[in-house]
Amino acid sequence: MAQIIACYQQSKHNFMRSSQISIRRILLPLAILTTTTVANAQQTTVVDSALLQRVAALEQQVADQKPGESHLMIVGLTTFGFVNSKTTFKPGDGTSVVSKTNSLGDADRYELSPMFLWRHGTKWLIEFEPSFDGNTLGVNWANISYFAAPGLTVRAGYFVLPFGIYNKRLAAGWIDKVAPDPVGIDLPGSDFGVGISGGFPLGSMKWSYDVSLTNGLQLLPDGELQGSGITDNNNNKTVSGRFALLPLSNSSLEIGVSGLYGGVADAGSSYNNANTTMLGADLSFVKNLNPLLINIKGQYSVIKVNSQNYVESSGNTLYSFDNKSTSAFAQLSVRPVSAENKLLKNLELAFRYVNYTTPAQSLWGQNYHEEDIGLDYWLSWRTVLKFTYAVSHSLSTENIPAGGTGGTTDMNNMYLQFSIQF
Amino acid sequence: MKTSSIKKITWVIIAGTGLLLAGILNGCVESQKVAAKSGVQLWAENCQRCHNTPSPNSFSHDQWITIGMHMQTRAQLTEKEKEKIVAFLTQ
């Protein structure tokens, strides 16, 4: 009996001990788990609180921000280079005169133009581009646009007139395929006024319009036209516009027609209701024909001023001429964009032909043509190094009795130009 | 301003307005092929009409919206083209 009792007590003791060990084994991890969970919970609460405070601060910043404050961006471009020029002037009755020049900062090939784009929400946009061309600090455009409806943008201010494609889209150095601008393509330039523009689908095609009402051009004493700039020279206004059709669904082909009409005489001048009519046509074709990207551009313009009498340089005699000018350029560039060789795929070969004819028997009459060949290397999509060789020939058709000069002028220009957009 | 000039300008404005209204009325006429185009396709087709195609990381989200508006004034992109191209560049 005593043995049974002793055995029972021993078993009880063992059981109790075993139970205590088991409880410890369970409770210890439980305690650790509980402690960790509580700590984590406290940490999460702290993080959430900090996050909420941060979100609240950001919300306040957003609420304090006025539309437009963060929507000012500055882009722009710069173009600089070197031009080596040889000019051979041959008078009608004399010997040739040859002159050679070279320049790093030529006015026609240097440009620094920051562009300020400032949008207010998604309806208003201000575009302002001051420009330093090596001689003067001017303004290319400074206008405000209101995006009134799909396909209707209203703008006002100083802007590039809608005529042709070169001045508005292709003139920037980082876009242009050869170094110089086509001669005679600068008119009508920029002017003060109002305008509307937009683009619409038309089945698988699309079309666009760009129309403006501006102060207009100015007729100079020798019959040339120039942009009126800041000062309006008369009470007439000028209407100009361009309509374009993109007949292919992939937008590769664009055909545009342009027109301009307006008075050009200075107020109170002796000109007889002087006005100008400009007509133009342009074409753009860009197509990736693997492995080449083919890019064709062209523009033809006719500028006509109605019949006027002009004063000779002596100031005593009147003379007249058919004041009609034509300017044209045709351009082809090819780039092997799909080539595997990196050096090759960044090269672009460009050709351009320019023809510019100004009125015979004027003081600025000439038949001019120019051929350009260029090799460009694209360092990035907006950075280019260009080498262009240009040959031009000009035959003077000036009115010699009125003070003009005859003869021919031949030029050979070699350009090395760098252009970047940023 | 001479009466003849006013008449000419008036006719040009009327003609332009007529074309504009015709365009607006035709604005919704878009083929299924064109409507189905993606932003990346429109980006590839339209940017290279004037310049090389920019990569999406060239500008920030906000800047692309501004540039989209600027390009609409330059190249007369349609509203849908602009929206799809900007959406692609900002995604």
Number of domains in chain B: 2
| Judgement on whether residues B8 and B39 belong to the same structural domain of the protein | no
Query: For residue A170, is pLDDT > 80?
Result: yes
More confident position, A268 or A190: A190
pLDDT above 70: percentage of residues in chain A: 85
| Judgement on whether residues A325 and A382 belong to the same structural domain of the protein | yes
| Judgement on whether residues B62 and B20 belong to the same structural domain of the protein | no
Question: Per-residue pLDDT averaged across A23-35, rounded?
Answer: 54
Enclosing domain of residue A140: 65-421
Determine contact, residues A302/A323, Cβ cutoff 8 Å: no
Yes or no, beta carbons of B34 and A204 under 8 Å apart: yes
CA pair distance A368, A329, nearest whole angstrom: 12
Of the candidate ranges A73-87, A304-318, B43-57, B74-88, the one whose mean pLDDT is the lowest: A304-318
How far from chain centre, in Å, is Cα B15? 21
CA pair distance A281, A24, nearest whole angstrom: 95
Of the candidate ranges A112-116, A192-196, A207-211, A266-270, the one whose mean pLDDT is the lowest: A266-270
Phi, psi of A123 (to 5 degrees): -115, -25
Q: Model confidence over A329-344: pLDDT tens digits? A: 999 999 999 999 999 9
Yes or no, beta carbons of B24 and A200 under 8 Å apart: yes
| Judgement on whether residues B44 and B77 belong to the same structural domain of the protein | yes
Going by pLDDT thresholds of 50, 70 and 90, the confidence category of residue A229 is: low
Question: Per-residue pLDDT averaged across A105-118, rounded?
Answer: 82
Q: Collect all residues with Cβ–Cβ distance below 8 Å to A154 and sequence separation of at least 6.
A: A145, A146, A148, A194, A195, A196
More confident position, A395 or A34: A395
Of the candidate ranges A45-49, A277-281, A346-350, the one whose mean pLDDT is the lowest: A45-49
The tokens describing A268, both together, are 């109170």
pLDDT the model gives residue B19: 72
Determine contact, residues A303/A187, Cβ cutoff 8 Å: yes
Going by pLDDT thresholds of 50, 70 and 90, the confidence category of residue A7 is: very low
Yes or no, beta carbons of A71 and B62 under 8 Å apart: yes
| Judgement on whether residues A377 and A290 belong to the same structural domain of the protein | yes
Residue ending a domain, choose from A46, A64, A82: A64
Amino acid making up residue A65 = Q
Query: For residue A15, is pLDDT > 80?
Result: no
More confident position, A317 or A204: A204
CA distance B23 to chain A (A): 7
CA distance A113 to chain B (A): 16
Q: Scanning every residue of chain B, which has its alpha carbon at the shortest distance from the alpha carbon of A118?
A: B66
| Judgement on whether residues A77 and A155 belong to the same structural domain of the protein | yes
Enclosing domain of residue B15: 1-30
| Judgement on whether residues B47 and B22 belong to the same structural domain of the protein | no
CA pair distance A180, A374, nearest whole angstrom: 10
| Judgement on whether residues A340 and A274 belong to the same structural domain of the protein | yes
Question: Per-residue pLDDT averaged across A178-182, rounded?
Answer: 93
Nearest to B79 among A150, A243, A250 (CB): A150
Yes or no, beta carbons of B31 and A196 under 8 Å apart: no
Query: For residue A209, is pLDDT > 70?
Result: yes
Determine contact, residues A262/A217, Cβ cutoff 8 Å: yes
**Mean of per-residue pLDDT scores for chain A:** 86
More confident position, B31 or A40: B31
Helices (H), strands (E): how many in chain B? 5, 0
| Judgement on whether residues B40 and B71 belong to the same structural domain of the protein | yes
pLDDT the model gives residue A28: 54
| Judgement on whether residues B35 and B79 belong to the same structural domain of the protein | yes
Coil, helix or strand at residue A298: strand
Phi, psi of B46 (to 5 degrees): -90, -40
Query: For residue A136, is pLDDT > 60?
Result: yes
| Judgement on whether residues A18 and A106 belong to the same structural domain of the protein | no
| Judgement on whether residues B69 and B47 belong to the same structural domain of the protein | yes
| Judgement on whether residues B51 and B7 belong to the same structural domain of the protein | no
Yes or no, beta carbons of A251 and B45 under 8 Å apart: yes
| Judgement on whether residues B24 and B37 belong to the same structural domain of the protein | no
Question: Per-residue pLDDT averaged across B68-72, rounded?
Answer: 95
Query: For residue A38, is pLDDT > 70?
Result: no
| Judgement on whether residues A326 and A204 belong to the same structural domain of the protein | yes
Question: Per-residue pLDDT averaged across A212-216, rounded?
Answer: 94
The tokens describing A301, both together, are 């313009």
| Judgement on whether residues B48 and B72 belong to the same structural domain of the protein | yes
The tokens describing B58, both together, are 């060239």
| Judgement on whether residues B26 and B69 belong to the same structural domain of the protein | no
Cβ contacts from A onto B, under 8 A: 145
Yes or no, beta carbons of A209 and B9 under 8 Å apart: no
| Judgement on whether residues A14 and A71 belong to the same structural domain of the protein | no
Q: Hey, of A233, A237, A381, A385, which one would you mutate to test binding to chain B, going by the most B CBs within 10 A of its CB? A: A381
- Give one DSSP letter per residue of A228-254, joined into a string: -TTS--SS--EEEEEEEEE-STTS-EE
More confident position, A362 or A41: A362
| Judgement on whether residues B1 and B41 belong to the same structural domain of the protein | no
Nearest CA among A220, A163, A169, A223 for reference residue A189: A163
Long-range contacts for A392-397 (Cβ within 8 Å, ≥24 apart)?
A: A392/A183, A392/A354, A392/A368, A393/A368, A393/A369, A394/A366, A394/A367, A394/A368, A395/A366, A395/A367, A395/A368, A396/A92, A396/A365, A396/A366, A397/A358, A397/A359, A397/A360, A397/A361, A397/A362, A397/A365, A397/A366, A397/A367
Number of domains in chain A: 2
| Judgement on whether residues A327 and A252 belong to the same structural domain of the protein | yes
Query: For the domain that residue A141 is a member of, what is the CATH number?
Result: 2.40.160.10
- Angle, in degrees to the nearest 10, between helices B61-75 and B79-90: 150
| Judgement on whether residues A90 and A179 belong to the same structural domain of the protein | yes
Most trustworthy range by pLDDT among A43-57, A69-83, A223-237, B46-60: B46-60
Query: For residue A109, is pLDDT > 80?
Result: no
pLDDT the model gives residue A104: 81
